[in-house]
Amino acid sequence: MDSLLIKGGSKLEGEVSVAGAKNACLPIFAATLLTDQKCVLKNVPDLSDVRFMAEIVAAMGAEVSNPSKGVWEIEAKKISHIAPYELVRKMRASICLLGPLTARLRKAEVSLPGGCVIGARPVDLHIKGLRALGCKVEIERGFICVDARKMRGSQVYLGGRFGSTVTGTANIVMAAVLAPGTTVIENAACEPEVADMCKMLSGMGAIIEGAGSPTVTITGVPKLGGTEHTVLPDRIEAGTWIAMAAAAKGKVLIKGALKKHLGSFLDILERAECPFEIKSPTSIYVDASNIKLKPVECTTLPYPGFPTDLQAQLGALMTQADGISVITERIYPERYMYVPELCRMGANIVREGPSAIISGKSKLSGAPVMASDLRASAALIIAALAAKGDTLVSRIYHLDRGYDSIDKKLAALGAKVERIKNAD
């Protein structure tokens, strides 16, 4: 497994471009199975999760090619209705096959994904949504088995204990676009990635109103066609670069940072007195040469609230704020695997239920640390940039799942970073 060796203390300077959004691509790749015609996807990030999703749709029967950087072509003339455990267990997002298979074939068998390091990740809302559309759904042999012969549009409420569900909303929208009648999804996930998938579906001929809002109305059509779609920039990557620039006292222009998708994150940064400037609707400049961070209180919530996918990065940055910050995780209350690793670097963080209490400012010092998941890996890099000395982040395959060329981008900004192949 590869590791990343980072020498702390070098200032980041220059420009960095944000890649396409991973969490839009994954349902979008699944959505190509809704038609037998060709779909062309552009601005697709080069990530192991995306390559894996491409393998999954190919294994389902689609012809998949990657003719040039960032461009994928998918033509699913004939597909299977069974997504086996061997495919699904490697990536939870393959649950996004459920909607398209149900819609196109009127039957689906999708293996239930296994456990996840960031906490329990149930799929009860996906199942509830399909049942509301008139599908028969049973759990058998570890599979979600759907009989959708009687599927029709309906009223679907998708809220759960922790709010709505991102991939659950994607699945129910994808099922409803080919269901006769009108479907109204209430408490739909408002995340821009779901709205981007809806935009792609509209390009395929789907009739969708209210995408990106809590009420989405879908009028079923008999058939969808091919389309060309450009994936929106990744707001989580953008937020991660802002945190990295701030931690490294850098001067960085982040291109592809959409202000309209980063509202809650920028609000917290303003409260932390992190110096940033909106240069355009799609770019943000951070000049952190004289940064003096203030502590913040922050709670993760579904969009447009503060994203759980930036919680670890904020936690790492707040080790550099002068005072006590409190971060509360309302989506995945156990998503704190990065905390003990940061403490090994000298951070002062205690857990109190779903909250992390961070006392700063800590003098971080480089140490060997282990990445446990994608966003935890990003948090460790943020800490490594702020630390004195060398940090060796192991198991960075997590990072390669969701950040396109992060080591190359860091090096181009002046960070002292080296990928060590097969370090353990």
| Residue ranges that bind ligand EPU, judged by CB under 6 A | 23, 26, 93, 120-126, 160-162, 165-168, 189, 308-309, 331-332, 374-375, 402
Give the nearest distance from C-beta 275 to ligand EPU in angstroms: 27
| Residue 249, helix vs strand vs coil | coil
Question: How many Å is the maximal CA-CA distance in the chain?
Answer: 63
* 182-186/155-157 β-pairing: parallel
Give min distance, CB of 365 to ligand EPU, in A: 27
C-alpha span between 98 and 81 (Å, rounded) = 9
We find the least distance from the C-beta atom of residue 363 to ligand EPU, in angstroms, to be 29
Give the torsion sign (CA, 339, 344, 345, 350). Answer: positive
What is the nearest approach in angstroms of ligand EPU to the Cβ of residue 249?
Answer: 26
- Which is closer to ligand EPU, CB of 161 or CB of 421? 161
Shortest CB 9 distance to ligand EPU, Å: 28
CA-based torsion, 237, 240, 244, 245: positive or negative: positive
Task: Output 5 or 342, the one with its CB closest to ligand EPU.
Answer: 342
C-alpha distance from residue 215 to each of 133, 186, 209, 219, 359 (Å): 16, 5, 8, 13, 40
How far, in Å, CA of 415 to CA of 424, rounded? 23
Distance CA 206, CA 204 (A): 6
DSSP secondary structure of 77-145: SS--SEE-HHHHTT-GGGGGGHHHHHHHHSEEEEEPP---TTS----HHHHHHHHHTT-EEEEETTEEE
174 Cβ contact partners less than 8 Å away, ≥ 6 residues apart: 27, 30, 31, 34, 96, 99, 100, 102, 103, 197, 201
Kind plus residue range of the DSSP H or E element containing 386 = helix 374-386
**What distance, in Å, lies between the first and last C-alpha atoms of the chain?**
5
Q: Give the shortest CB-310-to-ligand EPU separation in angstroms.
A: 10
* Choice between 288 and 381, CB closer to ligand EPU: 381
Identify which of residues 95 and 103 has a Cβ nearer to ligand EPU in the complex.
Answer: 95
Q: CB of 107: closest distance to ligand EPU in angstroms?
A: 21
- Residue 167 or 362: the one with the smaller Cβ distance to ligand EPU is 167
Backbone angles phi, psi at 157, to 5 degrees: -100, 120
Q: Give the residue with the Cβ less far from ligand EPU, 160 or 346.
A: 160
Q: In angstroms, what is the minimal distance from the CB of 405 to ligand EPU?
A: 17
Choosing from 25, 39, 96, 116, the catalytic residue is 116
CA distance 302 to 309: 10
Identify the CA nearest to 126 among candidates 169, 162, 188, 85: 169
Instruction: Judge whether 198 counts as a catalytic residue.
Output: no
Nearest CB to ligand EPU, comparing residues 26 and 383? 26
CB nearer to ligand EPU: pick between 3 and 313:
313
Q: Rounded to whole angstroms, what are the CA distances from 155 to 65, 182, 266?
A: 38, 8, 35
Q: Tell the burial category of 306 from Cβ atoms under 10 Å away from its Cβ (0-12, 13-18, 19+).
A: buried
Question: Is residue 76 within 8 Å of 33, Cβ to Cβ?
Answer: yes
Residues annotated as part of the active site: 116
